[in-house]
């Protein structure tokens, strides 16, 4: 179960993943 660490094509900590995480966190903060 090493798929959780990151995609098989992109290593973990990629700008795309970070951007998505930041956007998700911002939306959650706005909702609360």
Q: Do 21 and 15 touch, CB atoms closer than 8 A?
A: no
Which stretches does DSSP call E strand in 1-32?
Answer: none
DSSP state of 4: G
Q: Which two tokens stand for residue 22?
A: 């930041």
pLDDT digits (tens, 9 = 90+) for 10-28: 555 577 878 888 998 888 8
Residue with the bigger pLDDT between 17 and 6: it is 17
Give this prediction's pTM: 0.41
- Which of the pair, 9 or 31, is modelled with greater confidence? 31
């Amino acid at each position: 179960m090493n798929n959780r660490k990151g995609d098989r094509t992109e290593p973990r900590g990629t700008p795309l993943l970070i951007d998505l995480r930041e956007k998700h966190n911002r939306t959650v903060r706005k909702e609360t």
